[in-house]
Structures are given as structure tokens and as C-alpha cells.
Chain A
Amino acid sequence: MDFFILMLAIPLVSGALLTVVGERAWAPNLNIIASLGTFAAAAGLTIEIVANGPRFAFGEQFFIDSLNVFFVALTAFVGLTTSIFSGPYMKNEREHGRLTAPRLRLYKGMYQLFMFTMLAALTTNNLGILWVAMEAATLTTVLLVSLYRTPASLEAAWKYFILCGVGIAQALFGTILLYFAAERVLGASGNALLWTHLIDVKGQLEPTIMALSFIFLLVGYGTKVGLAPLHNWLPDAHAEGPTPVSAVLSGLLLNVALYAILRCKVLADGAIPNAFAGNLMIGFGLFTLLVAAFFLSRQKDVKRMFAYSSIEHMGLITFAFGMGGPVANFAGLLHMTMHSLTKSAIFFAVGHATQKTGTQLMADIRGLIRINPLIGWGLMLGTLAILGMPPFGVFASEFMILTHAMKYHPWATPILLLGLGVAFAAIFGKVQPMVFGETEARRLPHAPAITPVFLHLGIVLTLGLYIPPYLTRWFHEASRMLG
């Protein structure tokens, strides 16, 4: 059986199944098993692509190369660990009376469908289908964010829907313009939106249209990435949704949206002679980084704070890809990986911590290390990792981005350092008393799943110390494709 079809079919079928059968005792396990299956298929696909090179699927509608297979592997992996984490987490939520059985059913069904839409968005070759999948991903996550049905969560979901709806509409306009440009070269056929066809004729695409198209695409998908000034939905959605959803939003959805921008950037770069697309991304990236860094220090809610941290890192990554070139692209890809793994690990730890203490307000969370040393250490290490402390992997990628910026865009270096410095002070100052300090403990009915936290952090640590040669090759391959 084809790994690719398996990878898309498993989440789709299991998502439908979990929605239909309802909340049973074995449902969480099915969720994990399905995620495991997806991960296995993705791993198989990765091995296949690394060995045999790029391939198509379903005619030319889907296309897997070393760039997107890298995202696919990451997505499937984080999807698996998050499903493991969400098992006991969701059981605890139910014991606390925050969720009912129908909600849990909705959660698991939508979780799998969300995985499906993301994997479809990553692997499709058709930029139109990419848009459709992104929109579908928005719809599924809207339901996930509003899972608690509290006024705050409804407000967050509403904001999320409207803002991303508007953003994604801009992206559609960009896609239409892209089609408009492509149609002049490729003719009015279904091929005119296929990326593999577009990449062959990218030099002939009309620069004026492509410039406008890229602006719309960047703003549109950028809304989903969380680029300032369209980032407002992101902290709300992260803070008010269930923690596993925050983890996949930060760890995966932002990546997928950024991936969409990258695919479009390659086309825009080919069509527009100067580094227009890159400069635009540099500008947006730096602005996002600064905005997020300064908002970080004002946060009281722990999940909100880490959501802003995600925005900050997305800004940094956008900046890296905006600089372009093999080194910056390599650093960007590496940073995306590190950020995904680290941020989801942090959210796992934060999820357990908030369940233990019953609050998301940082002022009320104290002494995690006494309640549960593992959670406390997990949060502390995760925070150190995300702040770019060596020897964690984030340090390596941030270091690469910074040195590259110093070399080619020296003016940006102070801004980068300022943003990173402010973020460091803000986050560290707030997490430190949460981990250490006095507290009253409470027991959870279901033991938390700590494994995913340390699994992620372990990988990040390992990659910080040593990147295996095949991974380097693979990253190089992917960053070469980005030009």
C-alpha cells in the first residue's frame, strides 16, 4: 500500500470514525493509534522520498519533495506526541467537569480532521487546493478553540474565525491573481495552478501581477502565521482553547501557513527581478518580532505568553527566509523544527501545570517543582530551550540566523538582538517563580503523560549538540529548493 495514501487516509477515516462512534473508553487509544499510524506512514514516505527523490500522487495534484516531506514528518511526529499527551489531559478535564462526552467526541474527530487538512495542505501541488486545505484547517480549529463553550473561548473562536477568514480571503485573491498571471503563460487549464508547472515558467510570469499577488498571499497566509499586525487572534485562540490544541496550533499550523508562503515566495522570486518578496518578508518578520517581544512582558496568562513567544519566533523565521540563500534557509528550516518541538513540549508542561493549579494566571502558579518535579523541570528546560540557551537546538538556529543577518543585513542585527533580549527577560522573569516557590499541591485523577515533554526536549537537545549527516543533507536539499 502506498505510504502517501495511507498517510492521508488514516486521519480522514479515523476522524470520521471518532466523530460517528462517540466517546468510548477506547476512543483516546484509537486517537493515539491513528496518530501512530499516520506517523508510521509519514516516516515510510520520508524514507521513500529520501531514497527515490520527489514523486507525484493522484495525477499531478499532489507532489512530495524533500521540502514538504520534512514538514510532513514533523507534523506527523508532533501530531502523535500531542495525541499521547491529550489522552490523560482530556480525561482530567472531564473529571474537572470542564468537558462533556460529546465535546470529547468533537475534539477527537476534529483533531484527526485537522491533521488531515494540514497534511493535505503540505503535500498538495495545486495552489488552489492548498488554499482550500488551509481554510478547512481554520474551520476545524475554530471548533477546537471553542471547545469549552465559555464566553471567553467563544470570543476567541469568533475572533479567530473572522480574522483568519478575512486573511484567508486575501490569500484567495492572491491565488486568483497568481492564476491570472499563470494563465497568460500556461493557458487556461487546470495546470495553471500546479506548483510544479509554475516553477518551470516562473521567469515568464508577469512581475507586476506577481508582486501584487505575493503581497496578498503574504498578508493572507501571514494572518495564519501570526505576523503582526494581524496576529491578534493567536494569543486568544491559544489561551482559550484546550492545551493540546494550543500545542498543535503553535507547533504545526503556524508552520503549515509559513510553508504556504514559502512555496509562493519561490514563484515570486523567480518572476520579480529584485528581492522584492524577500524584503517584504524581512520587514514583516522584524516588525512581528518586535511587537511580540514587547507584548510578552505585559502578559499575565501563561498560555497567552507562550502564544506571543510563538509569534516572536514566527517573526524570526520569516525574517530568516526573507534573507534567503542556502544558509538562512537552512537556519529557518532548522528553527521551524526546533520551535515546533520545543513549543509543543512547553505547552504540554504548561497544560499539566495549569491542570494541577487550576489556573492559567502566572501569578497564581507557584512552586511547580514541588508539585511535580518532572513538570517543573520540563517547563524550566523548555523555557530555557525556547529562549535560545545553549546547548539546545534553538540556540544553533538562532545563532545561524543572527550571524547571517550580521553579514548581509547588519542594520537588522540590533533589532533582532533587542527583540530577543526583551523576550528573554520577559519570559525568564515570569517562568522562574512559577517553577520555584511555595505552593499547595493537588492530585490529578489521571497521571499526566510526561514522556512527550522530555521526548521533544531530548530531540531538541540532541539536535543542538549534533545534527546527523543525513538530516543535514536533507535540510540542505530543502533549503536549496527555496533558492
Chain B
Amino acid sequence: MNAAIPFSAQLINLFAAVILLLAFAMLAQRRVLALINLFALQGLTLCLATLVAAVTTGQVHLYYSAGLTLALKVLLLPWILYRLVKRLNVKGEVEALINIPTTMLVGLVLVMIAFNVALPISELSHTITRGTLGIALAVVMLAFLMMITRQKAITQVVGFLSMENGLFLAATSATYGMPMVVELGIALDVLVGVIILGVFFFQIRDQFDSLDIRHMERLKDN
């Protein structure tokens, strides 16, 4: 049986599975605020997974990475999003383009595809948490699906950030972290991106009187 896998790897696998579960929960979620909470929870799980990886491998930069995740994905970004939702008065349910059960089924198919794609790679990896690569890919795809099927601008951004979570999971758990310079750069880009988007939201609302991106379908090839 699985006795050969050390406890830390089991923990990382568990956290990865929880992240996947949260990705699905986000896909099924109808309310914006709950969505943001789920996103923060996903960040927290990611942070814990990174922490376990850091303790296991003793690589210092993974600690920084975990700290960065905690500060950015668990505290700062959800806070910014929360403020935005309050300030912009985003109300009601998130309207999905496809009904939620169908979305879930499509998500399931995506997970299968992701796992299949990742399987040959996992076989090659020497890190003990190779399976997480497939989960990371699945999370990325689910976030992508969320961006496609949701109509509110804010949900798309949460989807985008969730995608980033999946990528970080791939970076930290499957390869035990990218070089520090790169991680810092990525974090900075994400932060700046969200701030720009925050400014954007106000302008979009001023121009369209709504954050519903269905209003933004004028530009077409006709």
C-alpha cells in the first residue's frame, strides 16, 4: 500500500486535493462574496501546501513563497476584492451562461483531460508530490472554465486569480518552487494587475452602469 509515501507528501497531496475541491466549489458558487471567501480559502490551502513543501525540503525561498501567498492571496487580494464589491454594490447572484450542473460536468471532463495530460509527466518526476501537477493543471482549466461561463467582471477576475493559484501550486508542489526572482516578479505582476483592474471596474461601471460584461459585446466583426 501507500506506506512508501512520506507523511509530508501525503499532506501536500491532501492540500492539492482540497484546492481542486475548492476550485469546483467556486465553479458552483452563485454569490460573489462567497466566491471571494472561497478564493481566500484556496489561497490559504495553497499557502499551507507550500509551507509543508518548505519544511520538507528546507528550501528557504519556499518559506518566502508561502509568506507571499499568505500576504497576497489570502489577505490583500480578497480584501481588495471585498472592498470593490462593497463599493461597487455588486448585488445578487452571479449569472452563469450555462447552468451550473452542466458547468460541473464540463469541469469533470476537463479534470479528466488534465489528469490524462499530466500522467506521463508525473511518471517522470522525482519529486514525491508528482501527482499535484495534474491537479494544478486541472485547477487552471477549471478557473478558465469559470472565466468563460461567468458574466460579471469580478467573477472573471476571481477566475483569473484562481488560475494563478493553480500555477503556483504547480510551481511550488510539483517542482518545489521557481527561482525567487521569478516568483517575486509574478507576484508583483498579479498585484499590479488587480489594482489596475480595480480602477477599471469603476470606469466600466461609470460607462456601462453595470459590471455585467454582457453589455460589453459591441465590438464585433460585422
Contacts and interface: CB of A to CB of B under 8 A. Distances in A.
Nearest to A172: B167
Contacts of A162: 147, 156, 160
A206 B164 CA distance: 25
Contacts of B182: 126, 128-129, 131-132, 193
Interface centre among B59, B140, B189, B197 (most CB of A within 10 A): B189
Interface in A128-142: 128-129, 131-132, 135-136, 139, 142
A52 interface: no
B170 A132 contact: no
Contacts of B121: 177, 180, 208-209, 212
Query: Which range contains the number of A residues in contact with the other chain?
Result: 35 or more
A152 B218 contact: yes
B163 interface: yes
Given A173-B170, A183-B175, A132 B185 contact: yes
A169 B140 contact: yes
Contacts of B216: 151, 154-155, 158-159
B221 A298 contact: yes
A170 to B, nearest CB: 8
A451 interface: no
Interface in B137-157: 137, 140, 144, 147, 153, 156
A211 to B, nearest CB: 10
Nearest to A193: B179
The SS class assigned to the A binding surface is: helix
Contact of B200 (A154, A175, A206): A154
A139 B213 CA distance: 20
Interface string B165-207: 0010011001111111110011011001100110010011001
A295 interface: yes
A165 B193 contact: yes
A177 B120 CA distance: 13
Given A129-B182, A179-B178, A208-B124, A154 B203 contact: yes
Interface centre among B126, B180, B200 (most CB of A within 10 A): B200
Contacts of A175: 178
B21 interface: no
A221 to B, nearest CB: 15
B178 A299 contact: no
Interface in B95-126: 117, 120-121, 124-126
Contacts of B124: 184, 206, 208-209
Contacts of B5: none
Contacts, number: 136
Nearest to A189: B179
A166 B144 contact: yes
B124 to A, nearest CB: 6
Given A173-B170, A180-B121, A295-B221, A165 B181 contact: no
A151 B208 contact: yes
Contact of A173 (B137, B180, B203, B222): B137
A442 B198 CA distance: 40
Contacts of A180: 121, 125, 133, 174-175
A152 B221 contact: no
A190 B179 contact: yes
Interface centre among B178, B186, B218 (most CB of A within 10 A): B178
Interface of A: 61, 126, 128-129, 131-132, 135-136, 139, 142-143, 146, 149-152, 154-159, 161-162, 165-166, 169, 172-173, 175-177, 179-180, 183-184, 188-190, 192-193, 206, 208-209, 212, 235-236, 239-240, 295, 298-300, 304
Given A169-B164, A298-B222, 18 more contacts: A126-B182, A128-B185, A136-B189, A139-B192, A149-B207, A150-B207, A154-B216, A159-B219, A165-B193, A166-B147, A169-B140, A169-B160, A169-B167, A173-B170, A176-B170, A180-B125, A208-B124, A212-B121
5 contacts: A126-B182, A135-B193, A180-B175, A188-B176, A190-B181
Interface of B: 59, 117, 120-121, 124-126, 133, 137, 140, 144, 147, 153, 156, 160, 163-164, 167, 170-171, 174-182, 185-186, 188-189, 192-193, 196-197, 200, 203-204, 207-208, 213, 216-219, 221-222
